Amino acid sequence: MGTTRAEKLAHLGLVTVRDALMHFPRDYRDFSGAHAVADLREGEHASIVGDVTDVGSRTLLSGRTMLTVVIASAGGRARATWFNMPFMAKRFAAGMKVVLAGQPKLKGSTWEFAHPDVRWLSGGEQAHASDWLAVYPLAEGVQQSHVRLAVQAALDHAAGICPEALPDEMLADKSLLPIEQAFREIHCPSSREMIDEARRRFVYQELFMLQLALRMHRGQQQRAKSAAPLSVDARLDARIRARFPFEFTPAQKRVCAEIAADMAQTEPMNRLLQGDVGSGKTAIAVYAMLAAVGTRVRPDASDRYQAAIMAPTELLARQHASTLERLLAGTGVEVQLLVGGQPAKQREKILARIGAGEAGIVIGTQALVCGTAMFKNLALVVIDEQHRFGVLQRAVLQQGQADPHTLVMTATPIPRTIAHAVYGDLDVSVLDEQPPGRQPVATYRVGPDDLDRWWDFFRKKLVAGRRGYVVVPAVEESKRDLTSIASAYESLTNGPLEAFRLGLIHGRLKPKAKAAVMEDFRAGRLDVLVATSVIEVGIDVPEATIMTILDAESFGLAQLHQLRGRVARGRVQGICGAVTSSQSDPHPRVDAFVATTDGFQLAEKDLLLRGPGDLVGTRQSGMPPLYLADLLRDGSVVAEARRDALDLFQRDPDLADPRLDRLQKLILDRWGDTLGLGKIG
Ligand code: ADP
Ligand code: MG
């Protein structure tokens, strides 16, 4: 005997009755319509059950093969045909019981189904238990009929295993199906409409539970933790703003006010700042950090609070350090940079300054700051360019240390509904405005036939005084990539960009070498920086205003937009050419990229293209996957669930109502570990 059916089902994660119930169909097949040969109508969807009496294959004059299967049904015979699908022949044998579904046509005196849906009936399976047949996700060696039988058996125990968790009033209020009926309808629907109703019930419950979980998490955080209140009075506000060589945009002012209001509380701030590339998030971070550094720990002491900013790359950390040194020259605020490759002695010194509370602002990569630094008076943590940041990571970050306020900044905007679903316990600020004088980057798709003209244009702009980037793809920065980067560099220096001063930068370069190349480019000693996507994040050289992206098809949409952001920082309109290997074949990502420079629009498009399986904050955040809810498609349900959860918390902050006991237990089972719920108090 091979593996038993139970073992195979276990591969699918179907061990308990509950697992089987929660194994939701991925689709349905339509077996509705007439069921008797006498009732068939030309072109109207129908399904017929019968026994296979004849299977025949032949090759037509045209060279195509045609498979014909004849079935004998109670009211007469019907025929199914397939063209060029020889493998289908193996699946039929005389005597099998099958159901055919499709739109029949009358051929002579026999009804014929061309390429119908087929359902093979085994054992005691009912032909028409339901017109809508669930199609389940499968694993190797498991057949639809195995899963269907397991689910059928489980349905008989649904009431005992998965009792109703939502209070009756709520079901009535929101016209949701009761749980037992919802299980029945989702697995054995009685109609198309009921599939939608059942789905709505589960999606709502799932999102409602998630919102409640996030609220509970937040409540516990707030109860258990207290942060240093940092109040920014008018004087401090004016002093901070005076450090900047520009006036804040109205959006920046608004966001600064939102942050200042949060930080004035003894409850830790938990805020996500979304702002398109180039919208000036760094200034916001600096403002918040100076608010911390400008506040005394105690009125009678000289100690001041500390702030830390974490960047995803060392290059970006170094850039922040030099920005801050420039902005803070002469203020006496001590800025320390904590990055890899610093000699042990130097690192020790820096850590000592941090531990003694002398370093006011600490800049570093996340691994280093979280892993090594012990602060004396840390009051604020800023996390820059966080594209992948979810519930889990936050929970980890907030352990240890005192209880700093947290500001997370991202240039990869998440549609609001998704932000709410995934970051339901975060407040969200949006920088929806670019600094004055910015123009959208003129973006072109450059096909093979345009390439010569493009390089002509690129050279002319360099001669006219612009600096530029050429971006080459390197996904893994592996050895092979390095050769291809090196050869791309070669062919540029010996080809279209022969006459210019080129520098090369990529992820495998030693940090020091990277910083040196960057500095040469910044200072104008290089005309062109040939780079991999290491420049993708955050790099700010306002004089660089033209970019060529080679092999643009190989980049993600968010990445393309980030890259383009590098040439959108000056007063001169940026220009970007996306080089593609085909002249005009449609390419969804590149075409969307060329069509708009609005980061929010692109982010939604990106999600649509990548599909719900790849959502920011679900898989990436380490959250257990959602069973049914699709955060894009179910956006309005997310909003509804969030409203309802907020309402409920307002009425009953401790969820003390006994009618919520079951729901609360479900939430703890589902989210307790991820969110650390129920551990405190
Ligand atoms: P991002 O939001 O992508 O991190 P940055 O903070 O790097 O953007 O800012 C982009 C550029 O815009 C920088 O050169 C910065 O000095 C400049 N900048 C930011 N705010 C303003 C402003 N209010 N007025 C003019 N320039 C600004
Ligand atoms: Mg930035």
CA of 411 to the centre of ligand 1 (A): 13
Note whether 296 and 302 are within 8 A (CB): yes
For residue 252, which atom of ligand 1 is closest to its CA? Answer: 23
Strand 502-505 and strand 528-531: the pairing is parallel
277 C-beta closer than 6 A to ligand 1? yes
Q: Which pLDDT does position 353 carry in this prediction?
A: 95
- pLDDT tens figures, 548-564: 999 999 888 888 998 99
Which residue minimizes the CA distance to atom 25 of ligand 1? 435
User: Is residue 279 in contact with ligand 1, taking CB distance under 6 Å?
Assistant: yes
Is any ligand 1 atom within 6 A of the Cβ of residue 83?
A: no
d(C-alpha 13, C-alpha 10), whole Å: 5
* Alpha-carbon gap, residue 357 to 376, rounded angstroms: 5
Residues sharing a CB contact under 8 Å with residue 10, sequence separation 6 or more, in sequence order: none
| Ligand 1 pocket check for 599: Cβ under 6 Å | no
pLDDT at site 387: 63
Ligand 1 centroid, distance to 279 Cα (angstroms): 6
Ligand 1 mean position, distance from CA 460 (Å): 27
Handedness of CA 52, 54, 55, 61 (dihedral sign): negative
pLDDT at 415: 65
Separation of CA 522 and ligand 1 centre (Å): 16
Q: Is the CB of 280 under 6 A from ligand 1?
A: yes
Give pLDDT < 50 ranges for the chain: 1-2, 389-401, 612-623, 679-681
Report d(CA 1, CA 8) in Å as an integer. Answer: 13
Which tokens is 664 given?
A: 């609360």
Helix (H, G, I), strand (E, B) or coil at 58: strand
Instruction: Pick the closest to residue 427 from 287, 268, 278, 283 (CA basis).
Output: 268
Going by C-alpha positions, the residue among 371, 374, 383 that lies closest to residue 288 is 383
Other C-beta atoms lying within 10 Å of the C-beta of residue 340? 12
Q: What values do phi and psi take at 659, rounded to 5?
A: -70, -10
Write down the pLDDT at residue 394.
47
Model pTM?
0.69
Provide the percentage of residues in the chain whose pLDDT is more than 90.
41
| 318 CA from centroid of ligand 2 (Å) | 12
Distance 431 CA to ligand 1 centre (A): 11
Identity at 223, one-letter amino acid code = R
Domains identified in the chain and CATH numbers:
3-172 (2.40.50.140), 234-431 (3.40.50.300), 442-610 (3.40.50.300)
| pLDDT reported for residue 388 | 52
Q: What is the pLDDT of residue 399?
A: 40
CB 440 within 8 A of CB 285: no
Which among 163, 90, 157, 154 is positioned nearest to 120, based on CA atoms?
A: 90
Q: Which atom of ligand 1 is nearest to the CA of 384?
A: 4
Q: Which helix (H) or strand (E) holds 602?
A: helix 599-610
Residue 469's SS3 state is strand
Binding site membership of 561 for ligand 1 (Cβ less than 6 Å): no
* Cα–ligand 1 centroid distance for 282 (angstroms): 7
Share of the chain above pLDDT 70, in %: 88
Strand partners, 375: none
Neighbours of ion ligand 2 (CB under 5 A): 281, 538
Tell me how far CA of residue 614 lies from CA of 60, 388, 611, 619, 631, in angstroms. 45, 12, 6, 7, 11
pLDDT at 681: 32
Ligand in closest contact with the CA of 386:
2
